[in-house]
Structure 1
Amino acid sequence: MKKKLLFTLLFLVSLISFSQQKPILKLSAVPNPFTNATKITFNATKNSDVIFTVKNVLGKTVHTQKIEAVKGKNSIPFDKGNLSKGIYIYTLQDKKHFTSKRFVIQ
């Protein structure tokens, strides 16, 4: 009986943890690679403040911006400014989660 109860409890805990909805979905940069500018798009599951960060491959933060995301589709225009050619990692982060991808500046 104890094994059955323990198994059921473990199953429910794992089911709850794996079924949590991520707040940021379908993160992409278009065009990628780009020469001057790109648009970062994502879907948010709720209204929230997110931090948009760009880091170089050495991990140095080269751009940070606070975004007020609305439920549904969102976009962030990104201009390369004085960044040189190369691979960069961009991240969207809310209070609990973060999602990262890469883009290439040609």
Structure 2
Amino acid sequence: MNYLWPRILCALLLVTTIMCAQKNKTIKELGAKYNPFRIETKISFKSIRTQAVTLSVINILGKSILIDKITAHKGMNSIAFKHNILSPGMYLYAIETSKEVLSKRFVIK
């Protein structure tokens, strides 16, 4: 029976860590309004406070297409993204703060 205690303790620690990480998120509800899109999409996210964030768009080969530092305000934020010269395909977009990164995918038709 004593051999179970380390496993139980590790499981409790893991659950506590995950719950704390979820509570401390400063960016939530990341999404693209038009996905897939041809010309433009609106990337939106909710910030729990005013903070500096970085918007990144990355192709499927891992090459950074766009890196843009912006100030996110408390509440919903929206960024218009026009693909201009990008080829049709799948791309990753991410919002990064000093402590976290949220990413999703969008498709250009």
TM-score, scaled relative to structure 1? 0.84
1:98 counterpart (81, 98, 101): 101
Identity across the alignment (%): 39
Shift of 1:92: 0.3
Q: Which runs of 5+ in 1 are unaligned?
A: none
For the aligned residue pairs, the C-alpha RMSD in angstroms reads 1.9
3-state SS of the aligned residue for 1:18?
Answer: helix
Q: Which runs of 5+ in 2 are unaligned?
A: none
Please state if 1:42 is matched with 2:45.
yes
Please state if 1:29 is matched with 2:32.
yes
Q: Which contiguous aligned blocks of 4+ residues in structure 1 show a shift greater than 3 angstroms?
A: 10-17
3-state SS of the aligned residue for 2:61?
Answer: coil
Please state if 1:72 is matched with 2:75.
yes
3-state SS of the aligned residue for 2:84?
Answer: coil
**Deviation sequence 1:10-34 (CA, Å, 0-9, x none):** 9589536623321110000011000
Deviates more, 1:14-23 or 1:76-85: 14-23
2:56 counterpart (38, 45, 53): 53
Please state if 1:87 is matched with 2:93.
no
TM-score, scaled relative to structure 2? 0.82
3-state SS of the aligned residue for 2:16?
Answer: helix
Deviates more, 1:13-22 or 1:49-58: 13-22
Letter of the aligned partner of 1:95 in structure 2? S
Distance 1:24 1:60 in 2: 24
Structure 1 residues 13 and 60, CA gap change in structure 2 (3 angstroms): closer
1:15 counterpart residue number: 16
